A = this chain, B = another copy of it.
Amino acid sequence: MTDNPDLKEFWEARPLMLPSVSIDCVIFGYYDNQLKILLLKYKNTDCYALPGGFINQDENLEDAAARVLNERTGLKDIYLEQFYVFGDKDRRFDATHHKLMNGSGIILKADHFLLNRFISIGYYALINFSKATPMPDVFSDSCTWHDLNLVPSLIFDHDSILEKALHTLRKNLDEKLIGPNLLPETFTMNEFQNLYETILGEKIARSNFQRKILGLHMLKRLDKKITGGAHKAPYLYCFDTKTASKP
């Protein structure tokens, strides 16, 4: 199917994969009041996609998700969370698979496993994009952060997968404290609120936010920020490592 030794090795390993199941990773990145999403662009195509892949027969699902993300983007040590399983009966994308593989010089045979129906398990993560340097894999021209307001149209049903992940991220903001790794070590309540507003994509009432966040008992109040003569210097906060859990 191909003379490229990397790709040959990739395809020869396929019989070791669990049939019918795939993984798609939705990696959100936050930094400095911006929310971004990590996308691959397939080689010699205009096709943008979430990083995804398959599960080895002898591999735990969670390990597969971490490996797939690493193989396709270079990122590692990221806490991935399951959010939804996409199982529509028409999740088979023959024409697009042919196009994607043609871009890498591969002709798929009619019985190729990629042309089967796949049920896809969605994982998501929220990381600090200023600290992550993604790298494209062997099938991709690029692997880059895209502003969430300027996402190109995605292949397969990846638009719906992204939408569901964003919905889950926003819904979970109420349950989980996010912030460690996304903010500097010490921060003002205003900076913390900006993080939440950026993710929610809307303004939040200041007093409600402060009451709710402090009610979670996960922040420690430090000295006031030295701003040089301001009457209303804001307090600085940090995460209380005794009570704050990982994001």
Decide if B117 touches A18 in the complex (CB within 8 Å): yes
| Assembly CA distance A117 to B64 (angstroms) | 15
Residues on the B chain within 8 Å of A21, using CB? 20-21, 119
State whether the Cβ of A61 lies closer than 8 Å to any Cβ in chain B. yes
| Assembly CA distance A167 to B121 (angstroms) | 20
Which one of B20, B62, B117 lies within 8 Å of A87 (CB-CB)? B62
**A64 and chain B: residue at smallest CB distance:** B87
Chain A interfacial residues counted at CB < 8 A: 25
Q: Is the interface of A mostly helix, strand, loop or mixed?
A: mixed
Residues on the B chain within 8 Å of A19, using CB? 19-20
Q: Give the interface segment out of A24-32, A52-60, A128-136, A230-238.
A: A52-60
State whether the Cβ of A89 lies closer than 8 Å to any Cβ in chain B. yes
Beta-carbon contacts under 8 Å, A148-179 to B? 171, 174-175
Beta-carbon contacts under 8 Å, A61-90 to B? 61-62, 64, 82, 84-89
Q: Which 8 pairs, one residue from A and one from B, show the smallest C-beta to C-beta distance?
A: A61-B87, A19-B19, A18-B20, A20-B20, A60-B89, A19-B20, A85-B121, A60-B88
